[in-house]
Amino acid sequence: MVNVLILGAGTGGVILANKLAERVEGDVNITLIDRSTRHLYQPGFTLIPFGMYSVQGCTKPVVNFLPKGAGLLRGEVERINPEKMVVIAGGRKLTYDWLVIATGCRPAFEEVTGLDRALYRSAHEFYTLRGARKLRQVLHGFTSGRLVVSIADMPIKCPGAPLSFAFLAEEFFRRRGLGREVEIMLTTPSEVFSKPEVAKTLEALAEERGIELVSEFPLAEVDHGSKRIRSPSGEEVPYDLLVVVPPHMGSEAIINSGMGDAMGYVGVDKHILTAADFENVYALGDATNLPVSKAASSAHFQAEVVARNLAEDIAGSGIKARYGGETFCFILTSFTEAMVVGFDYENKLYQGKAPLPLLGPLSLNKITRGNHIAKLLSRWLYWHLWLRGESFPYTGGAE
């Protein structure tokens, strides 16, 4: 019997389990370990504060999505010993033949000085389910002043989400007749968007909508008393309501096992996705230090590659599939329109329509209603097709 252990039953872990189960036959045991039995649809968190999605619509029992025969162990992964091929989780010692690390990353609120005093008082967030739900009430009660959305540091999950939040917030207050009373600002540690062609369009739109963009402003400190945020060089921005996107870090278990960098991200071969130094360990998704956006879309493409490689490893064929850095990213520019961009390691933006060349429905690099409809439809696709192992039929198109 071959034992495959998948650490983390989030987006990457569950998609991988389904794709792998389709490819292997016979004596292969697939077991997932997660601290939670609920699966979260995190791309929905950005929409919860505006009442577009409910909390219930963004979480479901993970067992509903596992392939037949796969096991789920509930427990905290504490440590990995890759030399001995052992994982300590939930107080148990588990052995494996093949290991996949899919423990994602987490918002590290403790990394911003003063945020502990401000959080859920003058500062809020939408990067946790709890935070997104609470922010909904807070936005409804906010009638005037400056709302500052502040990204502390990169990398974060879904770099487009804070920008989407700012655009949605502007429209939310405008629709409620508070467009003049509420001022919106977005601070970012680097540029507004990493692709200059896209950044230009989004910056022009922000200007048109009166959203102030402040780039090169890493967030070092939140002063709850005076309601100010500070950068490391001492620049200050006053706020009335702060929506903070904290720095992110990999799982503690990776740090404790000495398998990651200082931020707890696992180093992997960027094409094959094996963890550095260990041929029988793969890692995918947000847990890795791959030079791609931390997004469900990239975890999805990576899960396809890991499933193929693991199946070939188990069969002993020596054939390797390669991940090319494919990523898609949505930016909601209003309650009715969105932009979608796609790119890969070559760093060239995909062009035209996707996934079908003439029909789309996605219009790449454009702000359209069709993109917005596709974004809303993608939650259904996630729960019913993608999480269950269906592929997104587009992996290229770079010019």
Ligand X SMILES: Cc1cc2nc3c(=O)[nH]c(=O)nc-3n(C[C@H](O)[C@H](O)[C@H](O)COP(=O)(O)OP(=O)(O)OC[C@H]3O[C@@H](n4cnc5c(N)ncnc54)[C@H](O)[C@@H]3O)c2cc1C
Binding site for ligand X (CB under 6 A): 8-13, 33-36, 42-43, 45-46, 76-77, 102-104, 126-127, 157-158, 161, 251, 253, 285-287, 294-297, 299, 330
Tell the smallest beta-carbon distance from residue 331 to ligand X (Å).
9
Bridge partners of 123, per DSSP, are: 119, 242
Structure tokens belonging to residue 393: 């039929």
Determine the 3-state secondary structure of 178 from DSSP: coil
Q: How far apart, in whole angstroms, are the C-alpha atoms of residue 19 and residue 389?
A: 5
Confirm if 303 and 392 have CB atoms less than 8 A apart: no
Q: In this chain, which residue has its C-beta nearest to ligand X?
A: 10
Tell the smallest beta-carbon distance from residue 317 to ligand X (Å).
26
**Residue with Cβ nearer ligand X (8 or 218):** 8
Confirm if 392 and 301 have CB atoms less than 8 A apart: yes
Amino acid identity, residue 56?
Q
**Residue with Cβ nearer ligand X (286 or 304):** 286
Confirm if 223 and 229 have CB atoms less than 8 A apart: yes
Amino acid identity, residue 148?
V
Looking at residue 109, what DSSP letter applies?
G
Q: Compute the chain's Rg from CA coordinates.
A: 21
Q: How far apart, in whole angstroms, are the C-alpha atoms of residue 77 and residue 6?
A: 11
Residue 204 vs residues 207, 216, 251, 281: alpha-carbon distances, Å = 5, 18, 37, 45
Bridge partners of 107, per DSSP, are: 248
**Residue with Cβ nearer ligand X (20 or 102):** 102
**Residue with Cβ nearer ligand X (33 or 314):** 33
Q: What contacts 122, CB < 8 A, 6 or more positions away?
A: 224, 227, 239, 241, 242
Tell the smallest beta-carbon distance from residue 238 to ligand X (Å).
25
Four-CA torsion 356, 362, 364, 368, nearest 10 degrees:
150
Amino acid identity, residue 12?
G
Q: What distance separates the 2 farthest-apart alpha carbons in the chain?
A: 66
**Residue with Cβ nearer ligand X (156 or 220):** 156
Tell the smallest beta-carbon distance from residue 235 to ligand X (Å).
26
Tell the smallest beta-carbon distance from residue 77 to ligand X (Å).
4
**Residue with Cβ nearer ligand X (87 or 220):** 87
Tell the smallest beta-carbon distance from residue 255 to ligand X (Å).
10
CA angle 44, 48, 51 (to 5 degrees): 130
C-alpha 330 chain-centroid distance: 12
**Residue with Cβ nearer ligand X (35 or 228):** 35
Q: Which residue has the tokens 């359209």?
A: 368
Tell the smallest beta-carbon distance from residue 41 to ligand X (Å).
8
Tell the smallest beta-carbon distance from residue 137 to ligand X (Å).
17
Tell the smallest beta-carbon distance from residue 273 to ligand X (Å).
12
Structure tokens belonging to residue 3: 């034992």
**Residue with Cβ nearer ligand X (251 or 365):** 251
**Residue with Cβ nearer ligand X (99 or 161):** 161
